[in-house]
Amino acid sequence: MISEAPSPQAVPLLGLGLGELEAWAVSQGQPAFRGRQLHDWIYAKGARRLADISVLPKAWRESLAAGADPGGANALGRSRELLRSVAKDGTTKLLLSTADGLSLETVGIPSRDRLTVCVSSQVGCPMACRFCATGKGGLQRSLAVHEIVDQVLCVREVMERRPSHVVFMGMGEPLLTIDSVLAAIHCLCTDLGMAQRQITVSTVGVPATLPSLAELALERLGRAQFTLAVSLHAPDQALREQLIPTAHAYPLETLLDDCRRYVEITGRRVSFEYILLGGLNDHPRQAAALATLLRGFQSHVNLIPYNPIEEEDFQRPSPERVEAFRRALQERHVAVSVRASRGLDEDAACGQLRRRAALPSL
């Protein structure tokens, strides 16, 4: 049946700020304070459905839920959990379904004093980095603001703990969807009370986007205090192109110039991620080349030992090899850390839970 009545809301309520929710309540013929109640229930209480927001008048709730979509389940913009996978160390991967039936991954990574949520910015990814499971399936679409914020709420709900950190290191390339990413950061800080400094945006590099990311962040967030992490993975252009096909359109020198520009505009130092692939980019000689490349740069290098994926036979380097690479950087005065592998027993590498779910035998 096709309803003649206009939908009571064009966009999901999740992702809207207090002022927008108040304006929306007024547009629905309700007093503005209903917007404050909605805000409290959506963000602080984590309501999943309008019907659950018991402080709202019942008749209004019912008419909204009826108009939103069959059953009203998505009026708020929350996803549905399809699969949950919990590793021995507590790392919790969720496979979530969007309203249009696409699935995406989000991961909660707990430690004693923090809970980090690794969020996806896209369903799939067009960048096709060779070592990345997500890249094997191409891009479906970018995520909207509510679909990014929902991931943080889902992890909070499942792990019964307030996330302290958010990293855009799940599926997708955040710099291909800057508007949604910045709006999501704004929502996480303003509506969920997170600190911008506890948020990291990771990119493999999209030509001509880094300076505009810096400028748009200042414009829309008032300041650019989140951490920018750039996935470098190689100390020279030729090897980088082998690992990251899109790198051919973005010379390493230009990428680093853009990073310097980002530092100038934001006053924040940049992190570089470097995946260690045994026998390919993990020789101490390559660490020396990396140190030379980054000379004079306010930066930090994060080494990530490769998490094996099915489609490729790259090697995970031995702990000794990782340590030798780390030491070679440290000796050259590069600030460096090694990312501890979390939840390796539960398809830790990006995009793997989704691929497992797609297999008919599971």
Q: Which residues are at the interface with ligand SAH (CB under 6 A)?
A: 127, 131-132, 169, 173, 202-204, 231, 273, 275, 304, 306-307, 309, 349-350
Least separation in angstroms between residue 184's CB and ligand SAH is 14
d(CA 43, CA 143): 19
Q: Measured on CA atoms in the order 170, 174, 177, 181, is the torsion positive or negative?
A: positive
Q: Which residue has the tokens 């008919």?
A: 360
Least separation in angstroms between residue 339's CB and ligand SAH is 8
Please check whether residue 320 is in contact with residue 140, taking contact to mean a CB–CB distance below 8 angstroms: no
**Tokens coding 154:** 């889902």
Q: Which residue has the tokens 């990814």?
A: 125
User: Is 350 a residue of the active site?
Assistant: yes
Cα separations in angstroms, 292 against 228, 252, 285, 335: 21, 13, 11, 13
Least separation in angstroms between residue 5's CB and ligand SAH is 41
Question: Nearest CA to 7 among 30, 24, 32, 20?
Answer: 24
**Which residues are registered as beta bridge partners of 199?**
166
Residue 270 has φ and ψ, to the nearest 5°, of -105, 145
Least separation in angstroms between residue 320's CB and ligand SAH is 19
Query: From start to end of 35-102, where are the E strands?
Result: 80-86, 92-97
Residue from 129, 132, 189, 350 carrying the catalytic annotation: 350
CB atoms within 10 A of CB 137: 16
Residue from 22, 105, 147, 173 carrying the catalytic annotation: 105
Least separation in angstroms between residue 327's CB and ligand SAH is 21
Nearest residue (CB) to ligand SAH, 159 versus 309? 309
Nearest residue (CB) to ligand SAH, 110 versus 124? 124
Least separation in angstroms between residue 229's CB and ligand SAH is 7
Query: From start to end of the chain, where are the E strands?
Result: 80-86, 92-97, 103-110, 115-118, 122-124, 139-142, 165-168, 199-203, 227-231, 270-276, 299-305, 336-338
Least separation in angstroms between residue 130's CB and ligand SAH is 9
Strand pairing category for 122-124 and 139-142 = antiparallel
User: Is 105 a residue of the active site?
Assistant: yes
d(CA 42, CA 361): 37
Catalytic residues, which ones? 105, 350
